[in-house]
Amino acid sequence: MFALQRAGITVVDGQQIFLNARAIKTGEEIGLLTQAASMVDAAYEKLYEFLRPGVRENEAVGLVSKVLYDLGSEYVEGVNAISGERCSPHPHVYSDRLIRPGDPAFFDILHSYQGYRTCYYRTFAVGSASSAQHDAYKRAREYMDRAIALVRPGATTADIVAVWPKAEEFGFANEEAAFALQYGHGVGLSIWEKPIFSRLVSFDHPEVLKEGMVFALETYWPSADGWGAARIEEEVVVTATGCQVITKFPAEDLLVAGQRYYAVGGPLPLERDSQSHLNTVDGRGGKI
């Protein structure tokens, strides 16, 4: 670049031009993005069947990677596998942690099919879910659904992020500290493209949504017990009259994976505390 400048040739950054050109997808591109997402649907189906106490996070990553490669993925860029106490606050790498009864576990699957990417979170409870975990999931779902309801041509990224909570409402000092938890980003040849949705930047730099844009919206909420959390992510195509969600693995409520437990009195409820004594009146100190 400097050699060109010394030769009197003006060099400018062309990245923004290409990002702007890629913001609106062709029908063929939307088809490839949908196919990439459908492969992750299948990976989540196998993962849901596989999750149980004793499974390690890295085993889940291996399973997902195999499913995707078997279906024709050209590159599994990453599988975030987060469980138990690692959920809040959470890293973006997996570990060899053993999943335990009652654990929350969420995953983000990123892969490439013919160059087109996915970014696709789902959250599970293993065996059962505490009321705090279920409540966290419902909050994350609520913020997701409010955002999706606003997606249409002519709306802006500022309109979307306005329905998401402020950073201080879920335990962070400011929007910079909470960046990428309530978030959205274009998906295409890169995982993060235009438009960008964030309370940190979208109010000052709103982007207008247009038919043919494809982006991922992701929400997060920590559970009130200070231990778990929930994350949901949906990939959305802007249509002429609204939008279509192309990430199809069920997410309207918290899914419980693993074996159903049966006691003498019948099946244990799916919403229960992972500490058994807290599910009895005596264990709660006589509290009903």
Report helix angle 57-70 to 27-50, nearest 10: 140
E-strand ranges in the chain read 75-83, 104-113, 116-117, 120-126, 183-186, 193-197, 214-222, 229-238, 243-245, 255-257, 262-263, 266-267
- Under DSSP, the state recorded for 89 is S
pLDDT digits (tens, 9 = 90+) for 248-257: 999 999 999 9
Q: Is the pLDDT of residue 105 over 90?
A: yes
Section 131-136 average pLDDT = 98
Domains in the chain, CATH or no CATH each: 22-260 (3.90.230.10)
pLDDT digits (tens, 9 = 90+) for 69-90: 999 999 999 999 999 999 998 8
Number of Cβ atoms within 10 Å of the Cβ of 258:
23
The band of 286, judged by pLDDT with boundaries at 50, 70 and 90, is confident
According to the model, what pLDDT value does residue 113 have? 99
According to the model, what pLDDT value does residue 89 have? 84
